[in-house]
């Protein structure tokens, strides 16, 4: 039995509320159980310098966790003068994941910045950030299309992510903190709506895993992806 009482292949309740930030071109508050992340998208007409003259756009991301997102207070990274290695790794993952679902030629020479701020953490914050970040990106792109700033839709497919792991010898879908902190194997799976893999992060936290076990976790991730895409579609209408 899982600490949460869920079935092995059961996702936490998912909700995505859009339009939560007045000034952002796209915004949402995603809740995956007790993990809550505020995601916003900002359209900037100037692309990064290395893309000027190429006709290509860019999607980038920043990630942060509020001081009391966890059970103890964390100092703001700005107060420490630098980002942690974990923060940098996560925001690069978010950016890579969202760019994989974009036709950068259709986006044109502009940048869309996705900001993901964790309000409350209970495991799977990077996965929630990717899933909610895609919704914010979708809403921002809709504004570009409506304004006639771009002629074709640059978004190729849905992008979402879910964690899976082996806890007490059992493969589980969508780990919360109690499970993630004790998992023998921990993995994050980023997929498109069509089921194509974008990135897989897996590590043996306390026990090695077999190829068969990795396949079982991927099966769970694909099943969870269906729930995430359904939530994304409901959010954007």
Q: Which of 14, 53, 50, 18 is nearest to 33 (CA)?
A: 14
Q: Torsion-angle region of residue 174: left (phi > 0), alpha (psi -120 to 50) or beta?
A: left
Nearest-angstrom CA–CA distance, 161 and 218: 12
pLDDT in tens, 37-50: 999 999 999 899 99
User: Binding-site residues, please?
Assistant: 86, 124-126
pLDDT higher than threshold 80 for residue 1: no
Identify the burial level of 53 via C-beta atoms within 10 angstroms of its C-beta, where 0-12 means exposed, 13-18 middle and 19 or more buried: exposed
Strand order in the sheet with 159-167: 170-173, 159-167, 185-192, 197-204
β-strand pairing of 170-173 with 197-204: unpaired
Instruction: Check residue 97 and give its pLDDT.
Output: 98
Instruction: Check residue 160 and give its pLDDT.
Output: 98
4 pLDDT tier (thresholds 50, 70, 90): confident
pLDDT higher than threshold 80 for residue 55: yes
Give me Rg for the CA atoms of the chain: 18
Nearest-angstrom CA–CA distance, 171 and 186: 10
53 pLDDT tier (thresholds 50, 70, 90): very high
User: Binding-site residues for phosphate, please?
Assistant: 86, 124-126
Instruction: Check residue 14 and give its pLDDT.
Output: 98
Instruction: Check residue 235 and give its pLDDT.
Output: 98
pLDDT higher than threshold 80 for residue 174: yes
Average pLDDT over residues 177-200: 95
| Residue 105 and residue 55 in contact, taking contact as beta carbons nearer than 8 Å | yes
Q: Which of 11, 5, 27 is nearest to 225 (CA)?
A: 11
Q: What is the mean pLDDT of the chain?
A: 95
| Residue 55 and residue 108 in contact, taking contact as beta carbons nearer than 8 Å | yes
Domain segments of the chain: what residues? Answer: 14-236
Among all chains, which residue has been given the structure tokens 């986006």?
Answer: 107
* Fold for the domain defined by 14-236: Ribosomal Protein S5; domain 2 (3.30.230)
Instruction: Check residue 213 and give its pLDDT.
Output: 95
Nearest-angstrom CA–CA distance, 67 and 87: 14
Q: Which of 97, 101, 95 is nearest to 48 (CA)?
A: 95
**Token pair recorded at residue 72:** 């103890």
pLDDT in tens, 76-125: 887 788 888 888 999 999 999 999 999 999 999 999 999 999 999 999 99
């Amino acid at each position: 039995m899982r600490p949460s009482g869920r079935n092995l292949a059961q996702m936490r309740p998912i909700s995505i509320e859009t339009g939560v930030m007045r000034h952002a071109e796209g915004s949402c508050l995603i809740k995956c159980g007790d993990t809550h992340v505020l995601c916003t998208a900002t359209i900037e007409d100037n692309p990064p310098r290395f893309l000027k003259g190429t006709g290509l756009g860019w999607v980038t991301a920043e990630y942060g966790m509020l001081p009391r997102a966890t059970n103890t207070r964390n100092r703001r990274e700005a107060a420490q003068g630098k980002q942690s290695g974990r923060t940098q790794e996560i925001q690069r993952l978010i950016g890579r994941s969202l760019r994989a679902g974009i036709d950068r030629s259709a986006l044109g020479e502009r940048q869309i910045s996705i900001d993901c701020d964790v309000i409350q953490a209970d495991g799977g914050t990077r996965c929630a950030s990717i899933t909610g970040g895609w919704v914010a990106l979708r809403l921002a792109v809709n504004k570009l299309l409506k304004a006639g700033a771009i002629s074709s839709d640059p978004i190729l497919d849905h992008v979402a992510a879910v964690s899976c792991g082996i806890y007490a010898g059992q493969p589980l879908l969508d780990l919360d903190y109690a499970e993630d902190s004790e998992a023998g194997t921990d993995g994050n799976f980023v997929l498109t709506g069509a089921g194509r893999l974008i990135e897989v992060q897996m590590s043996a936290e306390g026990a090695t895993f077999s190829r068969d076990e990795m396949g079982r976790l991927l099966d769970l991730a694909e099943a969870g992806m269906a729930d995430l895409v359904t939530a994304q579609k409901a959010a954007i209408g």
